[in-house]
Structures are given as structure tokens and as C-alpha cells.
């Protein structure tokens, strides 16, 4: 019996981006097929999981996370080492939450120094993520680019309002930018064009499509990411042919359902397992939509996702 | 191939009677082409046209119904590879395995879970719908007992798992009329299974060896006149099952391979021993074309995230999801608690309510029906302006719940604050809240406390 199972011909390819500068540097991207469609194209590099580290003890975290990180919340370096040594983190994402002007409002200089210390203390590639306040992030990320010269780190979120200033620093100090736009394929493309016009080399751009968590708008991110990847691979839109990075954990663990204790909602089962599965499913759906780097938090969720990523990539 | 509106129009009676609900046959044809109308709405359609249209308009993946009343599962009927192209249509059925080798108390506990695990998420009801009953005893009487037990004490739909036609026959006799799914016909038993599916008019699952193996068997079943089929390629490794799902969907939609144009069965319960891993695998097949997902068990912490994934992926991207208008209590608010207003776009509601929860300040959240539009869009469209907010605030009943008269409106509605105070006769003080939900906790903890 003959079956007509059509195969797709991909004319585009995602760029390969190197992050890190030592022998543990990693390469992401390079795909010439939709995620895991390896029967008709290549996925030369694995999807990478970066693990979250906060620069300041976080507030209101779920019990399941405090159990794991309770002993290192005060010390970003120890926290990062724990992720690398105990949970096999391939990258670290340092979240500079303390810089938020509506929170601790730590000066950019101080935060950037912490970033530098973490970068020096670890051998895996580093991502440094700002607090989300544009004015403050512009200041902080500029300093981070400078202090971490030679490390080829990722800085984000580089939104449209700050792309020129942060982009210029990324060029000067050889860092990679996570070009961040609010869940919209056209805005994403536009920002990538702006960065290119500024002179940021294509080898230093990642797309941050902005993600929603499970139950909190993940479907929007899922479809925008699928469209970005399809545009890059099938319509050869080379301004969208960059690897994608997704800041997953913050979205999942901030939700009500991930934080509810078992006594508060018996029908929702065990709190830890629920949070772990919510994080793992969110990350996995985004991987299916085209993510190349997933920023995650709970080691059990990381383990579930890592296993599926390995099985799906290998023929 | 889908027909265009004009092609459909040529087959319609062209009476323009309006009985279908739209004034002209052309308008009806356009609706049909977009899948917005049912052919049955036309009382005057000729038999010939009906046959032509239903054959041509049939989705490339057969829509199959399992169950006859209660929690009926409808799967298949899909027309696209990616949800943004149009929408995914019928969410996969989620089934819990019940073996007849389990003891009766365990079986009862499982039936109880199937009945009681229901989640209300701001008006969206999330619940699983199927029991997958597996004969492990080899004893038709025992299996029949279990089938009867489930059929009598739950309105969930039923999947019967046994490769033995005589055991299937015994079970089918017991749940006659309930339209269970028969799992499965294989190369060895296909003739008998086809007969059973016909006799009891039940959907039949075909389990073959790979895509070609399945296609051979579905082709036999179709030749015998069966239409309501589901398929299982037997793949139990994640990679192989994933690849089969992609290929089957492509073959049906793009390659017009009728033999693979059926919803699938994902035996996640046979793909891992670990419930979290199984459920996680289930989520992968919610995104990638699964029809029915069978799990070895449900726990609140496993089922709920899976139901969320299903709700999200199967949301129609063309229509914003909306929550019901009304007053929502967050925490345990009292007569001094703050009152906030937002739109009924579900994503906005969930973000705002989460942030209020994060603030740990118990609050009243007024959700105005904006037809699912976000705050900005609703405001621009006149659906969230002072003249519509004021009567809502008055009528919703909040005035009897709080002593104060302070209303926090979204930052984007700042231009409405003056007019809104006026519309409310000066009785309410309007406070302009933050523009972004993320800033609500800071707002409630500082500005509200001071106000």
C-alpha cells in the first residue's frame, strides 16, 4: 500500500548563535525544519534550558521552590552553582529583579557588578535579564554589557525603546541581545530590522516573543511563535530567522494556581507536582512552537522537559 | 477540497426565503463556506445537493462522536495544521484507565474522580470526559460487571479495551445504546470487530502497525461501510508517536489520504509508568493532533494543568475568550475592601485577578462585559466609557457590599475619570489605577492604603 504523505520543503534556515566564550559555550538555532520534524529537516543543536537565579531574595515564591532554593536565595553565586552542579543547568539566567524602581530600586551600578561576579564565578553561559522597567533596564543592561566584556552573554529584554542604547553597547562589547516585543510577529520583525540597521550583527540577535503561562495566554505566544518560525523557514523571512528565547518560569510561578497550597485547593492536588507540571507543560508547548532557549526554575520540571527534548530530537 | 461560497451558492435553491436565518441564499452560501452555518438550516435543499455538499464539505478528518448522552466526546473534524490558520475544532477527549483487575473499591474511587473532578475557572468548566475500561481479567462476566458499574454511576463516555471480540460483545451488550468506543480492531480480529461496530453502531478504534498498517485496516473497515473510526499506529515511543501524528494529519489534510483521515488515540498510559510524565506527554499531543488521550490515573495536580493546556490550545484564535460579567471576590473582601474595574477579556481578567491575589489585599473586582475586548480596544470602541460603566456600577450590586465609594479604574481609562464621576452623580470617587496588571500589588499596598 502506498500512502501519499507529503513532506515539506523548507527554504529558510534559522541562524546559529553562539553564547558564551569558553569551552562550555553553546550554540543554538540552525534548524531547517519545524521543531522536531526531523523526518524532513535538521535540528543541529539541542534546545537549551537556562535556570533562573535572582539577584535578590524573591518574595512570595511557592513552597516548592523555596524547598529547593531556600539555602541560596541570598547568594546569587551559590544559587547559580547549585543549578549547575546539582541540576545540570547548561546556562544561567540572572534576573536583576532588585533594580525595579517600584521595588528595591537597587542602583544599576550595583546590580551590574553582581552580574559581573556571577559571570566570573560560573563556567556556563550567562543570560542577564532586567526588571522590565525600560528606563532602568537601559541603564543597567548598558553597564552589564560593558562589565561582562569578552563573555558573550545574552542581555534582555531589549525592547524597542531601549534598543539603540543597549544595542550599541552589545556591538561594542560583543554581547547577544534578546530582542523583546509584546507577542506580535510584525513588531518582532520590525525590532530585528532596527537592530540590524543599528549595526548589531545577525550572530548577536535572539528573538524574545514574550510568553504567557499555561492558563494565562500561552496560546497567543504559541501561535505567534509558530508563525515566526513558519515565516522564517517556509517563506524565507530572514529577519525572523533567529533563535527564540522564552522567559518561562516567571510567568508560570507567578500565577495563582502554581502558588496555591494543597489545603487551599484540595481538588488541585499536590502543590509541588502541580507547579512542576505547569512549568514543564508551558515550556514544552513553547518548545513545540519554536523556542530555542527556555528559562526555567524547578529542577523536576527541567528534568521532564529535558527528557522529552532529547527523545524528540533524536531519531 | 472545500468549496467556495459561489460554488455552494450554485447548489442552493436560490429562493431567498430567509428561513435559514439570513436573508439570501448567497449570504447562506458564504456562511456555509466559512463553516458558520449548517446545511440543515436550509429546509429546501435538494437531496442531490445535500449529498454533493456534505461529501465535498466533509472535513478531511472525520468527526467522530463517542457516547450518547451526558459527557459526549466529539473528536476529529479538524481542517488545519496550525491553529492560527483558522482554529482547532474539537478538543481531545481525556480518558482515565480503569482495569477490571482492580478491586471494586478502587474502581468506585476512580468513578468518583471521573464524576467529581470539575473545575470552574471564571465560568469556564474544565473536566475530563471518558473512562477507558480495560479487560485484564480475561473474564467477560467480570468485565461486564465493571462496564455496568461505570455506565450506571457516571455520565462519562466509555472506551472498551479488549482485543477479544467475545469480551467486547459481552461488554457492548451491557452498555447498549451508550455508543462506547471499541478499542481495538487489529489485523487478527478486524472482521469480527467490524461486525460488532456495525451491530451496536459504535465507533471503532483501529490499531495497526505504523501508518501503513493502520491505513490497510481502515481501508477494510471503510469498504465494509464503517465511517466512525479512530486510529492508533501502535507507536509507544514519544518520537515515533509524534512523527506519526504529524504525518497522519498532513496525509489527511494535504495528501487527501482518506485512510488516515481519522482522529487518533494516544495511549499515554502505555508510554510511561510515571503519571507526571504521562500527563506531560498528553500535553504534547494536545498541541500535536491527539484525538483521545488515555492516562493511567487522574490526580488534581496532573489533570488540572492538562485541562488548562487543552483549553488554551483549542481556544479559537479568531474570537477572544470572555468571562462572565459580574462581581468577583478575590481573597475575602469586606465592606472596606477596594473595588477595581476591568474588562471581560479572559486574559485580562486572569492577569488582573492574579495580581490582586499577589497583593494579598482582598478586593472586589468588577468585570464589565466588553464582548471579550481588552480595556484599550473596548474603550476605543465605546464599550468601556463613562456612560456604560456608570449604570453597570449602579446595577451590579457593589453598592450594597462596600461602605466606601471609591472605584479604581484601569490606568488606560484615565480620560474617562471625570465623566465617570459625573455619571455616578458625584457619589463615587474615581481613582486611576496602574496601566499594567503587574503594578497592581504595589498600587494596592501603597496608594490604596493611603487613599
Q: What is the pLDDT of residues A273-292, one digit of tens each?
A: 999 999 999 999 999 999 99
Residues of chain B with pLDDT under 50: none
Q: Helix, strand, coil: what percent of chain B each, to 5?
A: 45, 15, 40
Strands B292-295 vs B265-266: parallel, antiparallel or unpaired: parallel
Find where cell 561594542 sits. Answer: A172
The alpha-carbon gap from B310 to the nearest alpha carbon of chain A, in Å, equals 9
The CA–CA distances, whole Å, from B51 to A231, B8, B10, B11, B56 equal 39, 12, 14, 11, 8
pLDDT of residue B436: 86
Q: Where are the beta strands (DSSP E) in B208-267?
A: 229-232, 265-266
Q: Which of A39, A223, A273 is nearest residue B243 as measured by Cβ atoms?
A: A39
Find where cell 453502531 sits. Answer: B201
Residues of chain A in contact with residue B218, where contact means CB-CB under 8 angstroms, are: none
CA distance A32 to A38: 9
pLDDT band at A30 (very low <50, low <70, confident <90, very high): very high
The CA–CA distances, whole Å, from B414 to B71, B154, B408, B434 equal 46, 52, 10, 10
| Contact criterion met (CB below 8 Å) for A207 and A239 | no
CA distance A287 to A295: 11
Q: Which of A60, A220, A257 is nearest residue B358 as measured by Cβ atoms?
A: A60
Whether residue A215 lies within 8 A of chain B, CB to CB, comes out as yes
Q: Which of A39, A60, A274 is nearest residue B301 as measured by Cβ atoms?
A: A274
Find where cell 501502535 sits. Answer: B234
* Sheet with strand B229-232: strands edge to edge: B229-232, B204-207, B181-185, B157-161, B130-134, B93-99, B292-295, B265-266
The alpha-carbon gap from B284 to the nearest alpha carbon of chain A, in Å, equals 7
Whether residue A309 lies within 8 A of chain B, CB to CB, comes out as no
pLDDT of residue B5: 84
Whether residue A267 lies within 8 A of chain B, CB to CB, comes out as yes
CA distance B345 to B364: 17
| Contact criterion met (CB below 8 Å) for A29 and A16 | yes
Q: Which of A18, A191, A142 is nearest to A91 (CA)?
A: A18
Alpha helices in B275-416 (DSSP H): 275-287, 300-313, 346-359, 375-380, 386-395
Interface of A with B in 65-104 (CB under 8 A): 102-103
B70: helix, strand or coil: coil
pLDDT of residue B358: 85
Secondary structure tally for chain A: helices H, strands E: 11, 10
pLDDT of residue B2: 62
Cα three-residue angle B24-B28-B31, rounded to 5 degrees: 145
Q: Which of A269, A270, A271, A296 to substitute to test the interface with B, most B CBs within 10 Å?
A: A269
Whether residue A183 lies within 8 A of chain B, CB to CB, comes out as no
pLDDT of residue B245: 98
Say yes or no for a CB contact (<8 Å) between A307 and B442: no
Stated pTM of the model: 0.90
Total number of residues shown for chain A: 315
pLDDT cut 70: percent of chain A above it: 100
DSSP code for B406: E
Helix axes B140-153, B104-116, angle to 10 degrees: 30
Interface of B with A in 125-184 (CB under 8 A): none
The CA–CA distances, whole Å, from A79 to A76, A98, A110, A276 equal 5, 16, 18, 19
Whether residue A274 lies within 8 A of chain B, CB to CB, comes out as yes
pLDDT band at A103 (very low <50, low <70, confident <90, very high): confident
Average pLDDT score, chain A: 96
Q: Tell me the domains of chain B and their CATH numbers.
A: 5-57 (1.10.15.40), 64-313 (3.20.20.20), 326-450 (3.40.50.11600)
Total number of residues shown for chain B: 451
Say yes or no for a CB contact (<8 Å) between B350 and A266: no
Higher pLDDT: A67 or B437? It is A67
Closest residue in B to A314 (Cα) is B239
The alpha-carbon gap from B333 to the nearest alpha carbon of chain A, in Å, equals 17
Say yes or no for a CB contact (<8 Å) between A217 and B347: yes
pLDDT of residue B35: 66
Q: Which three cell numbers stand for residue B411?
A: 490606568
The alpha-carbon gap from A177 to the nearest alpha carbon of chain B, in Å, equals 24
Q: Tell me the domains of chain A and their CATH numbers.
A: 46-313 (3.20.20.20)
Q: Is the pLDDT of residue A73 over 70?
A: yes
DSSP code for B175: T
In this prediction, the answer to ipTM > 0.95 reads: yes
pLDDT of residue B76: 97
B158: helix, strand or coil: strand
Q: Which three cell numbers stand for residue B273?
A: 509508568
B63: helix, strand or coil: coil
pLDDT of residue A292: 98
Q: Where are the beta strands (DSSP E) in B240-384?
A: 265-266, 292-295, 326-330, 339-343, 363-368
CA distance A273 to B301: 6
B9: helix, strand or coil: helix
Say yes or no for a CB contact (<8 Å) between B301 and A270: yes
CA distance B420 to A232: 48
Least confident of A226-235, A294-303, B2-11: B2-11
Q: Which of B298, B292, B302, B359 is nearest to B331 (CA)?
A: B359
Q: Which three cell numbers stand for residue B331?
A: 481573597
CA distance B370 to B346: 11
* pLDDT tens-place string over residues B392-413: 999 999 999 999 999 999 999 9
pLDDT band at A315 (very low <50, low <70, confident <90, very high): low
Whether residue B329 lies within 8 A of chain A, CB to CB, comes out as no
Interface of B with A in 264-293 (CB under 8 A): 276-277, 279-281, 283-284, 287-288
* pLDDT tens-place string over residues B260-282: 999 999 999 999 999 999 999 99
Q: Which three cell numbers stand for residue A241?
A: 530567522
pLDDT cut 90: percent of chain A above it: 95
Q: How many CA atoms lie within 13 A of B87 on its CB side?
A: 16
Q: Which of B175, B221, B171 is nearest to B64 (CA)?
A: B221
Amino acid at each position: 500500500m502506498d500512502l501519499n504523505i507529503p513532506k515539506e520543503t523548507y527554504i529558510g534556515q534559522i541562524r546559529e548563535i553562539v553564547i558564551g566564550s569558553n569551552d562550555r559555550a553553546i550554540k543554538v538555532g540552525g534548524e531547517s525544519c519545524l521543531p522536531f520534524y526531523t523526518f524532513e529537516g535538521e535540528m543541529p543543536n539541542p534546545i537549551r534550558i537556562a535556570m533562573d537565579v535572582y539577584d535578590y531574595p524573591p518574595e512570595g515564591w511557592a513552597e516548592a521552590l523555596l524547598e529547593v532554593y531556600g539555602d541560596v536565595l541570598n547568594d546569587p553565586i551559590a544559587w547559580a552553582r547549585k543549578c549547575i552542579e546539582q541540576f545540570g543547568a547548561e546556562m544561567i539566567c540572572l534576573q536583576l529583579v532588585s533594580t525595579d524602581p517600584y521595588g528595591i530600586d537597587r542602583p544599576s551600578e550595583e546590580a551590574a557588578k553582581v552580574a559581573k561576579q556571577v559571570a566570573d564565578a560560573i563556567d556556563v553561559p550567562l543570560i542577564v535579564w532586567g526588571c522590565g522597567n525600560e528606563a532602568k533596564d537601559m541603564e543597567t543592561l548598558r553597564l552589564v554589557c560593558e562589565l561582562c566584556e569578552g563573555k558573550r552573554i545574552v542581555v534582555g529584554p531589549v525592547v524597542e525603546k531601549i534598543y539603540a542604547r543597549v544595542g550599541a553597547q552589545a556591538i561594542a562589547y560583543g554581547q547577544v541581545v534578546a530582542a523583546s516585543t509584546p507577542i506580535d510577529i510584525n513588531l518582532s520583525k520590525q525590532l530585528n530590522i532596527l537592530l540590524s540597521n543599528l549595526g548589531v550583527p545577525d550572530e548577536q540577535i535572539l528573538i524574545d516573543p514574550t510568553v504567557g503561562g499555561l492558563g494565562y495566554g500561552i496560546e497567543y505566544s504559541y501561535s505567534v511563535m509558530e508563525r515566526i518560525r513558519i515565516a522564517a523557514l517556509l517563506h524565507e523571512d530572514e529577519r525572523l530567522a533567529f533563535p527564540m528565547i522564552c522567559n518561562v518560569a516567571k510567568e508560570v510561578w507567578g500565577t495563582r494556581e502554581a502558588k496555591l497550597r494543597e489545603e487551599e485547593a484540595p481538588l488541585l492536588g499536590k502543590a509541588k507536582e502541580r507547579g512542576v507540571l505547569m512549568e514543564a507543560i508551558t515550556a514544552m508547548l513553547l518548545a513545540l512552537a519554536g523556542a530555542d532557549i527556555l528559562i526555567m526554575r524547578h529542577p523536576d520540571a527541567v528534568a521532564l522537559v529535558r527528557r522529552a527534548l532529547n527523545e524528540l530530537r533524536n531519531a | 477540497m472545500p468549496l467556495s461560497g459561489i460554488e455552494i451558492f450554485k447548489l442552493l435553491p436560490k429562493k431567498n426565503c430567509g428561513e435559514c436565518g439570513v436573508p439570501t441564499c448567497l449570504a447562506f452560501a458564504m456562511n456555509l463556506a466559512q463553516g458558520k452555518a449548517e446545511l440543515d438550516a436550509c429546509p429546501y435543499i435538494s437531496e442531490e445537493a445535500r449529498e454533493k455538499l456534505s461529501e465535498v464539505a466533509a472535513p478531511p478528518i472525520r468527526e467522530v462522536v463517542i457516547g450518547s448522552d451526558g459527557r459526549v466526546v466529539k473528536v476529529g473534524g479538524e481542517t488545519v495544521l496550525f491553529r492560527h490558520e483558522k482554529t482547532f475544532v474539537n478538543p481531545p477527549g481525556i480518558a482515565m484507565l480503569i482495569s477490571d483487575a482492580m478491586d471494586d473499591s478502587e474502581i468506585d474511587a476512580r468513578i468518583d474522580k471521573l464524576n467529581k473532578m470539575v473545575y470552574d475557572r471564571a465560568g469556564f468548566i474544565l473536566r475530563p470526559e471518558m473512562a477507558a475500561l480495560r479487560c485484564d481479567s480475561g473474564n467477560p462476566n467480570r468485565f461486564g460487571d465493571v462496564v455496568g458499574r461505570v455506565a450506571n454511576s457516571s455520565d462519562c463516555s466509555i472506551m472498551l479495551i479488549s482485543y477479544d471480540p467475545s469480551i467486547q460483545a459481552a461488554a457492548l451488550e451491557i452498555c447498549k445504546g451508550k455508543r462506547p468506543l471499541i478499542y481495538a480492531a487489529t489485523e487478527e480480529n478486524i472482521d469480527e470487530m467490524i461486525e460488532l461496530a456495525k451491530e451496536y453502531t459504535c465507533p471503532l478504534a483501529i490499531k495497526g502497525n505504523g501508518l501503513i498498517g493502520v491505513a490497510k485496516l481502515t481501508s477494510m473497515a471503510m469498504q465494509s461501510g464503517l465511517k466512525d473510526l479512530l486510529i492508533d499506529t501502535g507507536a509507544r515511543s514519544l518520537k515515533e508517536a509524534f512523527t506519526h501524528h504529524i504525518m497522519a494529519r498532513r496525509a489527511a489534510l494535504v495528501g487527501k489520504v482518506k485512510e488516515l483521515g481519522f482522529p487518533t488515540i494516544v495511549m499515554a498510559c502505555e508510554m510511561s509508568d510515571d503519571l507526571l510524565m504521562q500527563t506531560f506527554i498528553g500535553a504534547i499531543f494536545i498541541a500535536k493532533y491527539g484525538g483521545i488521550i488515555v492516562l493511567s490515573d487522574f490526580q488534581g495536580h496532573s489533570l488540572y494543568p492538562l485541562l488548562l493546556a487543552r483549553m488554551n490550545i483549542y481556544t479559537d484564535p479568531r474570537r477572544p475568550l470572555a468571562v462572565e460579567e459580574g462581581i468577583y471576590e478575590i481573597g475575602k473582601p469586606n465592606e472596606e475592601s477596594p473595588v477595581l474595574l476591568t474588562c471581560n477579556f479572559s486574559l485580562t481578567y486572569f492577569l488582573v485577578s492574579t495580581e490582586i491575589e499577589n497583593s494579598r489585599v482582598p478586593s472586589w473586582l468588577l468585570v464589565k462585559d466588553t464582548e471579550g475586548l481588552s480595556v484599550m480596544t473596548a474603550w476605543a470602541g465605546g464599550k468601556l466609557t463613562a456612560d456604560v460603566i456608570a449604570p453597570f456600577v449602579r446595577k451590579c450590586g457593589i453598592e450594597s457590599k462596600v461602605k466606601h465609594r471609591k472605584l479604581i479604574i484601569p490606568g488606560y481609562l484615565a480620560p474617562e475619570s471625570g465623566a465617570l464621576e459625573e455619571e455616578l452623580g458625584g457619589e463615587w470617587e474615581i481613582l486611576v489605577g496602574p496601566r499594567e496588571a503587574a503594578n497592581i500589588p504595589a498600587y494596592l499596598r501603597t496608594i490604596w492604603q493611603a487613599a
